[in-house]
Structure 1
Amino acid sequence: MSDIPIKGLAELQKLLDELPARIEANVVRGGVRAGARVIANEAKRLCPVGGVSGSLRKGEQPGALRDSIRVSAKSSKGRVTATIKAGGKNEVFYAGMVEFGTARHLIKPKNRKSLSVGGDPREAVQHPGAKKKPFMRPALDAKAQDAVETMADYARNRLPDEIAKLK
């Protein structure tokens, strides 16, 4: 993993260190989620849209990969993390294959004796592989600073409300 220089984190940390833990958890979690959404929106913009028009199988429709990009945030033991995910285990399982590409490989049938390719039975088919089409990492690289600024704006706007609740 490479380091991405980000400006303003020290000032943000100083502000957060002065807050009670409950406020910190609520405000920071919301801010981290808002910052992650900036990156997720860029990933959706950069995500290649393929698929099969009119397909009834989930995950094959045009835009299924783009629509699978989601953000979650959690706090545990004073640490707040956000996760941006694309794909899933069953329907849009190919997110990593799109991001990183695939090598040339042999496809063999799992439960049958042969595959049908264009109506011809085959024992195996050589797949040429797929070129990588990264969308998650370029989104992070392009929007990291904007995400931090969004987090700071969120905290600046939300803190007065949270402080007023304490009074």
Structure 2
Amino acid sequence: MMPTVRGKREVRSFIAKLPEELANRVLRGAARAAANVVADEAKDRSISDEVSAAIKVATQREADRIIAKVQVKGLGAYIAPWLEYGTDPHFISVDDSQRAGMSVGRVNRLAKEGSLVINGQFVGSTVWHPGAQRHPFLRPALDIKEAEAVTAAQHYISTRVSKGGITGKDEGDEA
């Protein structure tokens, strides 16, 4: 008597869908878990509340890769490069193309925040800025939390993959 096998089609279907299921339901979430560890450290290291509030995590799937990003987006994002890398000493002035024929003093009086007013005092048409010290927060966050991020990703995978199958929902790109 020949043995009969049942469920062969279902097993093949399950195995064929497995890479897609792993990518959408497990690996993307694992990448997000790892990135969240780094993002939390970056927020703690930033000396600017605006920059900390603008630190976001995003994931995306590109062909056969899952990409997780810790990025600074939104209000306060423009400050991030200055904090991370500092600035060299430089002059600040009102660009002639922005004056519309007005003196710098008039530009200052008409501007809501004043272009060359410091502590309410008009300081002239040009100001020497001594530069800003760097306060790195992104790269040190990755360097310090790399191992913890890998552990978070592994934990995410371990809690969602078992002998019984894959648990959890599909991961989207919510920030």
Same fold (TM over 0.5): yes
Deviation at 1:161, TM superposition (A): 8.8
Query: CA 1:162–1:147 in 2, change beyond 3 Å: closer, same or farther?
Result: farther
Unaligned stretches of 5+ in structure 1? 1-18, 50-62
Which is further off, 145-154 or 112-121? 112-121
The structure 2 residue matched to 1:71, chosen from 45, 57, 67, is: 57
- The verdict on how the C-alpha distance between 1:153 and 1:81 changes in structure 2, with shifts beyond 3 A counting, is same
Q: What corresponds to 2:39 in structure 1? A: 40
TM-score (norm 2): 0.69
Residues 1:164 and 1:153: Cα distance change in structure 2 (over 3 Å)? closer
Q: Which structure has the greater CA radius of gyration?
A: 2
Greater helix share, 1 or 2? 2
Task: Please show how residues 101-140 of structure 1 align to structure 2 within 5 Å.
Answer: 101-110=86-95, 111-112=98-99, 113-114=103-104, 115-117=116-118, 118-140=120-142
Which of 144, 148, 151 is 1:149 aligned to? 151
The number of residues matched between the two structures is 133
Q: CA deviation at 1:20?
A: 2.1
TM-score, with length taken from structure 1 = 0.72
Alpha-carbon distance in 1 for matches of 2:18, 2:127: 61
SS in structure 1 of the partner of residue 165 of structure 2: helix
Shift of 1:24: 2.1
Unaligned runs of 5+ in 2: 1-16, 105-115, 168-175
Residues 151 and 139 of structure 1: CA distance in aligned 2, closer, same or farther (over 3 Å): same
Query: Identical aligned pairs, as a percentage?
Result: 33
Moved over 4 A (4+): none
Does the 8 A contact of 1:23 with 1:162 survive in 2? no
Mapped to 2, the partners of 1:128 and 1:161 lie a distance apart of 62
Aligned to 2:112: none
The alpha carbon displacement at 1:162 in A equals 8.0
Task: Kindly indicate whether the alpha-carbon contact (under 8 Å) linking 1:87 and 1:95 is maintained by their aligned counterparts in 2.
Answer: no
Across the aligned residues of Structure 1 and Structure 2, the Cα RMSD in angstroms comes to: 2.1
Structure possessing the higher relative contact order (Cα contacts under 8 Å, 6 or more residues apart): 2
- For the residues of structure 1 that align with 2:19 and 2:148, how far apart are their CA atoms? 26
Show CA shifts across 1:77-108 (max 9, x none): 110010001244x6431101111000001101
